[in-house]
Amino acid sequence: MSLGMEEAEGKMSDSQLADEELKAVVDTKPARYPIPSNDPNDPLNWSTTAKITTYTTICLFSFIANVNGSNFTVAIQALTRQFHIDANRATWLTGFNVLMFGLGNVIWVPLMRVVGKRPVYLLALVVFVAANAWSTRATSFGSLLGGRMVAGFGASAADATVPSVVADMFFLDQRGHCMMFFHFALSSGIFLGPLINAYVVELHSWRTSCEWIGIAGGVIFVMAIFLIRETQYNRERQQWPEDQVPVKRAYLGWLSLTIGYNNDRPARRFLITFWDIICMAGYPPVFWTGCLVGLFVGWTIVIQVTASQIFLKPPFKWVLHKVGLFSLSGFVGVVLSFYFGGMLIDLIANRAGRNDHTIKPKPEKRLIALLIPFVLSPVGLIIYGQCMAHHTHWPGQAVGYAMHSFGFTAVANIAIVYAVDCYQAFAGEALVIVFVIRNVIALVCSFYTNQWIAEKGLESVTGTMAGIQWAVLLLAVPIYFFSKRILSFTNTYGPMKRMQRDL
């Protein structure tokens, strides 16, 4: 690339680049988007080590947060004996935890916009550890329910905030693959959590499951103090003159809690972000993503709850740790989805960008990768339901669970990266709505699963679930073909209208 081209790009923001210049960039060498500044403190310019240590620590938080969410799915019988309640009420401990896991980000994301991401993660980990300590000492069902709700609130900071971190540190052509590490951590917590906790509950008690999760959260808190850097970059990305390039911040400087603080009317910024979150519920791509991901989470809860109940009864008569081992089949699906839900969508989107001669490919191109989970996941639900209803040998149920879990991880990553690409400037706000919708659906599933199955039978329920899943996945077709019109429409209201006005 010529020196003249570099100087021209340094003077202009990416929104002002002309089509001819974009084509010239693409034709000469692969370009990166967003266009980084020459500030060494810009997260896009960090060393690979700094990016990996920060992101890995956050993903560990996401992992343990989701282990925390699923820890009582295998303890229903123990809880019913302890508190003299029925199985449906015992599922409240999972349902309300999951609900707070979604609602908590209504507070965390606006706070993140004001104080930065590092303080939010540290504070949330303190809340998370304290709530698990509370749960271990609970002597009544109400107290335990309160502890699980507060634990869900603390854990939620490891959810909707993470895609914003990825957008801060990684370029667009890397985003799908990098986001897959987050969803791999999230899904691993959901599917390995029941395995670990089944052994803990069987060998010790449900209280011990809260104890070890609290200890793990404490270890991650210590790691976060030293490894999580502030990714929020409050300066305009520009090419600084050589004599004005900011000084590279030393390691100890990154341990500060004030780097990400935005002192531009912080109270107003908090309220605006809160309002933006509410408004983005009316953006079709965001609402559809929430419903789609919510269905996969909800149906996964149905599988986990039914497996933990049916396999413990005749004719199976499994011991509890075998139910935990069954969750490994879901984890196998997660591992298999790593390429198809991550690198594949980057490959599709980047190739589309080269064909269109643009730096920033069209977001809807990522939706093409939904074809694979569309074929596999609903069929997996049907296989699981048929095999479980007819009490066949466990491999049939395991295959069905793995097929659905493959789609759980792949679909979540594809749809969420699509939403982030559509509204990159408001990625955190958009994902709050996605996860609120997701967790409300999960709450409804945890509340009514047993009643629904008792009335209709597992065979009928899983068939209905598969049909609903296919219907929501098929909505990707009109979204794909009318994406440009939809995005133009959403530019006329809410936070996108304000951003267009400020350009």
What domains does the chain contain, in order, with CATH numbers? 47-234+249-497 (1.20.1250.20)
The pLDDT value recorded for residue 360 is 59
Most distant pair of Cα atoms in the chain: their distance: 77
- pTM metric for this prediction: 0.80
The pLDDT value recorded for residue 1 is 38
d(CA 490, CA 484): 10
Q: Is 308 left (phi over 0), alpha (psi -120 to 50) or beta?
A: alpha
495 prior amide bond cis, ω within 30: no
Chain position carrying tokens 């996401």: 62
**Closest Cα partner for 351 from 184, 176, 479?**
176
DSSP track, 144-197: HHHHHHHHHHHHGGGTTTHHHHHHHHS-HHHHHHHHHHHHHHHHHHHHHHHHHH
Q: Are 148 and 72 in contact (CB under 8 A)?
A: yes
How far, in Å, are 10, 244, 245 from residue 239 at the CA level?
Answer: 5, 10, 8
pLDDT below 50 — which residues of the chain? 1-30, 357
d(CA 381, CA 400): 6
d(CA 485, CA 302): 36
d(CA 228, CA 55): 8
- Within 8 A by CB and 6+ apart from 137, the residues are none
163 prior amide bond cis, ω within 30: no
**Closest Cα partner for 166 from 153, 186, 180?**
180
The pLDDT value recorded for residue 291 is 94
The pLDDT value recorded for residue 342 is 59
How far, in Å, are 87, 115, 206, 378, 426 from residue 450 at the CA level?
Answer: 8, 43, 21, 20, 38
Q: For the chain, how many residues are written?
A: 503
d(CA 295, CA 287): 12
